[in-house]
Amino acid sequence: MRFHRTFAALGGAVALPLFLMATISPAAAEVVHEKSSWRNLSLTEHDFNICGDLATFTFESTGHAIATDTGSGFHFTFVDNDSYTVDFDDPALGTWTARATETSTFNATPGDVMTLHIGNNNIEGDVRIRELLTLVIGPGGEVRVDRAVFEVVGC
């Protein structure tokens, strides 16, 4: 579904300024926290659902993003909870209610190890969607963990 890319883009739009502000700390030893949050953010989009049916998605999103620069490492957390409707162009398919939860964490530790976790779980009508990503990169740039799961049940 493309709407997750929309919220990922929203997350990126929130994250980039936080990242830039957190990485430009006045002193390396100073811990800098930046937080952004949103409540009842509305978005409407016309697109295909995960099963390939054309529909209008109407989202309401609540979440937050937190960036922390410890002076020797960087941490970022993103949480987004959505409730939405899927109003199909084909009247025979009706309208579904849905909910989604997306979480992302990124850590760069003093030992130059970078860890990224992204999880997305949706319940859209009778369809279940689960996406998980874990990526761990060691200090020498070697990929230690590269795991991705994408499951759709109910189409």
Q: How confident is the model at residue 72, as a pLDDT?
A: 87
Report how many domains make up the chain: 1
Q: How confident is the model at residue 16, as a pLDDT?
A: 47
Q: What is the side-by-side strand order in the sheet with 114-124?
A: 32-48, 54-69, 74-88, 95-108, 114-124, 127-137, 143-153
Instruction: Quote the domain boundaries for residue 112.
Output: 3-153
In which residue ranges of the chain is pLDDT below 50?
2-3, 5-7, 9-10, 13-14, 16-27
Residue type, 28: A
pLDDT in tens, 87-127: 999 999 999 999 999 999 999 988 889 999 999 999 999 99
> What is the distance, to the nearest Å, from the Cα of residue 15 to the centroid of all Cα atoms in its chain?
11
Kind and range of the H or E run holding 13: helix 3-23
Q: How confident is the model at residue 87, as a pLDDT?
A: 97
Q: How confident is the model at residue 124, as a pLDDT?
A: 94
Q: How confident is the model at residue 11, as a pLDDT?
A: 52
Q: How far apart, in Å, are the Cα atoms of 9 and each of 42, 73, 116?
A: 15, 24, 17
pTM score: 0.73
